[in-house]
Amino acid sequence: MPKAKKSHKKKKYDYNKDRKKLKLQFRKAAAPRIECRQLRNAWNDKRSVAQNLKDMGLVFDPNLSLPVRKQMVPGSETEVEAARALVKKPYVIKDLEAEASLPGKDTKSLSTDMIEYVQYMIREHNDNFKGMARDEKNYYQDTPKQIRRKVELYKRFHPGQYSAFMESLKA
C-alpha cells in the first residue's frame, strides 16, 4: 500500500519578530508565580532559588540552617550575628515579621439567617432540642444534635449578642 504524501511547507523566518523579546516572554510565562509580595519584589531572576533566599536571609535547605555547634570563643560574634551580616536584603525579613505581627482577621461568623433561626428556636423551645427538631420552622430538617451544634456556634461567635438576647428573654 502506498504511503500518504507529506506536504512540506517551507518555514519562513519572520523578520518582524524580536527573538530576544520572545525568549524573555516565554521564560516569564514558564516561571512560577511567587505569591508572597515581599519575596516577589526582592527576587532576582538571574540567580538560583538558593542564592535568592540566602540574599534575603532565608534558608533553602533547613538541614543546613542549624549546623552543629562548635565551641564559641569569648568575645566573638554569635552565629546569628554572623548570619545577619551575610544578608544582603534585610528589608525582606523585616517586612515578613511586620506582616506576621499584624492581628489576623477573624473571618468566622454566622449568617443573619442562621442567627434568626437559632434565636427563634431558643425563644420558642429554650433548651428542648427535641422540640426544636419537631418545630415546623425547622426547614433544614436538622436533628437535635445539629441544632445543639448551631446554638453552640452562635454562643461562641457572638457571645455579647447571645447574652443580650438571653437577658431580653428573661425580662
Domain boundaries, the chain: 20-101, 112-170
| Residues 138 and 132 sit within 8 Å (Cβ to Cβ) | yes
**pLDDT (average), residues 61-75:** 67
For residue 23, pLDDT over 90 is answered with yes
**pLDDT bracket for residue 110 (50, 70, 90):** confident
Q: Which of 17-21, 71-75, 116-120 has the lowest mean pLDDT?
A: 71-75
- Determine the Cα–Cα distance for residues 41 and 55; give it in Å rounded to an integer: 13
Q: Please name the residues in contact with 162: beta carbons below 8 A apart, sequence gap of 6 or more.
A: 154, 155
Per-residue pLDDT tens digits for 145-157: 999 999 999 999 8
For residue 3, pLDDT over 80 is answered with no
CA distances (Å), origin 30, targets 22, 26, 27, 162? 12, 6, 5, 53
Q: What is the CA radius of gyration of the chain?
A: 32
**pLDDT bracket for residue 74 (50, 70, 90):** low
